[in-house]
Amino acid sequence: EVQLLESGGGLVQPGGSLRLSCVASGFTFNNYAMSWIRQAPGQGLEWVAALSGSGTNSYYTDSVKGRFTISRDNSNSTMFLQMNSLRADDTAVYYCAKVPAILPLYFDYWGHGVLVTVSS
Amino acid sequence: EIVMTQSPVTLSVSPGERVTLSCRTSQSILSNYLAWYQQRPGQAPRLLIFSTSTRATGVPARFSGSGSGTDFTLSISSLQSEDFAVYYCQQYSSWPRTFGQGTKVEVK
């Protein structure tokens, strides 16, 4: 059974940093791309970043380029999202999602999400 | 960026009814690279359909997807109580990946 467990969320001040983690199980982690998707309170879904199975190719939405970094540790089946220079509009539930291919496509499994609140 | 527009925003229906949700894209979607997700209150999204019309594992046959180019549809043949939720379309034809704003299917 595929399981994705996010952690690392919380309250942070504007301009601060936070690192999210996603531990995966139930599949061969390095064979699949992974992604982060967020949902602001009461809003829709927004794709944030994606990383190929090897970790070689990364992709970002424009609003987080230069501030967020996606990475993975295939030996420990874990994906990360380093978030710097956080802003109020980064406040959201962040979901870790698995892609059913080596390169990012759609998302076949999702974690339960972790809340990030950016506020002073 | 491909803009995804879903309609209607809210759909009020009774159990057993057939529903049709629309997703229009600002540019043609290559290779029918379009997916649909269901999100129940307080839950993570769940993949329903990929490649426009292929049901994901475990998705009931009452869900079906169709369309091409810039016009796509998700249909639910006979609405069950567990189908009242928000539905999102998503394109994976180009970067950045984008979602529609969602259609909420609520009890009439």
Give the per-residue pLDDT at B35.
98
Written as one letter, the residue type at A77 is S
Q: With 0-12 CB in 10 A as exposed, 13-18 as middle and 19+ as buried, what is B17?
A: middle
Residue B11: which pLDDT band, with cuts at 50, 70 and 90?
very high
**B44 neighbors A110 (Cβ within 8 angstroms):** yes
* Whole-number percent of chain B with pLDDT over 90: 97
Asked whether the beta carbons of B6 and B21 are under 8 A apart, the reply is yes
- Integer Cα distance of A55 and A34 in angstroms: 9
**pLDDT at position B30:** 86
Residue A107: list chain B partners with CB under 8 A: 35, 37, 45, 47, 90
Closest alpha carbon to A68 in A96, A40, A36, A98: A36
Q: Which residues of B touch A52 (CB under 8 A)?
A: none
* Mean pLDDT across B45-68: 97
**Percent of residues in chain A assigned helix, strand, coil, to nearest 5:** 10, 50, 40
Instruction: Kindly state the tokens that stand for A41.
Output: 């309170």
Stretch A38-65: mean pLDDT, rounded?
Answer: 96
pLDDT score, position A103: 84
Enter the tokens of residue B18: 């057939």
pLDDT, residue A110, reads 98
pLDDT confidence bin for B17, thresholds 50/70/90 = very high
Name the residue of chain B whose CA is nearest to A41's CA. Answer: B42
Q: What is the pLDDT of residues B76-89, one digit of tens each?
A: 999 999 999 999 99
**In this structure, is the dihedral angle defined by the CA atoms of residues B56, B60, B66 and B72, taken in order, positive or negative?**
negative
Pairwise CB contact (< 8 Å): A107 & B35? yes
- Whether residue B57 has pLDDT greater than 90: yes
pLDDT computed for residue A72 by the predictor: 97
**The pLDDT of residue A102:** 84
